[in-house]
Amino acid sequence: VSKTILKIVLVLVLLLVIVVATMPFWISPAARKAVEAGGTSAMGVKTTLAELDIGVFSGTCDLGGLNIANPEGFETPHFMNLGSGAVALDIQSLRKDVIEIPKFELTGLDLNLEKGSGQANYEKILENLSKLSTEEEKPKEEEPGKRFVIKEIVIKDVKVTAKMAGLTVPMKIDEMRLQNVGSEGEGVDLKKLIALIVSGVLKGVAEEGTGVLPEGISSSLNDGLNSLKGLGGHGEAAAKLIEDAGVDATKALDKAGDKLKGLTGK
């Protein structure tokens, strides 16, 4: 009997070792597909992610090559492209219904804003995001999948290109911070999390682009963001301008100082 028990224990240990050793190979692809499906569903355009690597032993999650396609009929190949991202991850937290992430860092975001005679590309994206803000909330016990809360998202090296009526205006934001994303209630699902991040980036760009972006783009972008009432309650976007093409250094410093006063209340 003792030998039989020993064999069972050895088999179980072996199975556990195999599961742990192969975990990165099945967790990472599943997570990458979930991000792609969530982004495509939220924004109504194809979303792809080239790399996503969850380090089970290192407790990290690295991603690269996140691409949000442009709606049909626009010049640039993408609406938004992200170079890389990294987050410290507590693997044990993946077992919980609500996953809390203290800080998520993203680097190298490229955003194209295009407005022609018809609807702008960002207007179509925001139109799709607005569907998330108006749909009825399901009772939490019926909501499948994990829910997320990210205390702070730091986005570095943001490049914006705005095109309207033959005019191209470049803009650069050195650093942008989105705070308390998904913090209202008990977190948000992956689809709404992606929507919050994208709308938060657009809000930051709209704030920093005042007086820099073409007026037609600036006004319609703000109008679209104001329609996302159901999303706005879940996250607060705060963007800090360090370097902005087309704005002289003195004006940039004054603008950064005004925003600092607004955030600190002093």
Give the per-residue pLDDT at 122: 95
Quote the pTM value: 0.73
Strands of 98-115's sheet in order across: 47-55, 60-69, 78-88, 98-115, 147-164, 167-181, 236-240
Q: Give residues with Cβ within 8 angstroms of 172, minimum separation 6.
A: 157, 158, 159, 160, 243, 244, 245
State residue 12's pLDDT score.
67
Token readout for 7 is 């064999």
106 neighbors 84 (Cβ within 8 angstroms): yes
Tens-digit pLDDT profile for the chain (266 aa)?
Answer: 576 766 666 666 665 554 444 444 446 677 888 889 999 999 999 999 988 877 666 567 788 889 999 999 898 889 999 999 888 766 666 677 888 888 889 999 999 999 988 889 999 999 988 887 655 454 444 445 788 888 888 999 999 999 998 899 999 999 998 888 887 657 888 888 888 889 989 999 999 999 999 999 999 999 999 887 655 443 444 333 333 333 333 343 344 344 333 433 44
Q: Residue 6: helix, strand or coil by DSSP?
A: helix
Query: What whole-number distance in Å separates Cα of residue 131 and Cα of residue 124?
Result: 11
Distance of CA 36 to CAs 42, 139, 196, Å?
10, 25, 15
Running DSSP on this structure, what letter comes out for residue 4? Answer: H
